[in-house]
Amino acid sequence: MTAAQVRTALTSTAIDIEAAGVDRDAGAGIVMALEATQSLSTTPAANFDTRTVTVTETSGNANGIIEPGETASLIVQLTNSGVSGATAINATLSTVTPSVNILSGTSAYPDLGIAANGTNTTPFTFSLNSSAPCDLRIDFTLIITYSGGESPKRATFSFQLGSLDR
């Protein structure tokens, strides 16, 4: 939406509480958010936020810390913070962080109603090159496709290596 479209939606649906039209004290009136949104003829959609991200060492020295040369799995919890449910959810994991290789980057999610949480049905996996720095911050992106609204969606999250605190 453009700024002009949003302004028109807000002012044209406001309740005029003083003299007719825009005035100094009340402007266009009381903003009616629901009516303004409905006037835009937008389609209700799901929206995904990452919540709990669990990273587990799957090959390495078994000390619980992901280090250079090791492989890890990711369980990523999504929350549907949108105004519509989502079905047939699939996500693809990627990163542009150097020294990180995505090994298994696609997974399905259960159907998520409004405000529902769910985790990937198959863990994502990644490995670190042996030359990766020990204190590397990995920035991940999930591209999420689903049925029931505007798709795809993007969710991002980060993981800091070199610490038992996750």
pLDDT single digits (tens) 33-61:
878 877 877 677 888 999 999 999 999 89
Q: Which residues make beta-bridge pairs with 76?
A: 53
Whether the pLDDT of residue 166 is over 50: the answer is: no
Q: Are residues 24 and 54 in the same domain?
A: no
Counting the structural domains of the chain, the total is 2
Highest mean pLDDT among 19-23, 31-35, 61-65, 68-72 belongs to 68-72
Residue range of the domain that includes 151: 48-160
Q: Are residues 34 and 54 in the same domain?
A: no
For 79, the enclosing helix (H) or strand (E) is: strand 71-80
Query: Which CATH number goes with the domain that contains 85?
Result: 2.60.40.10
Q: Are residues 85 and 106 in the same domain?
A: yes
Q: Are residues 123 and 56 in the same domain?
A: yes
Residue 35 structure tokens:
């009516």
Tell me whether residue 60 is in a domain: yes
CA distance 12 to 36: 8
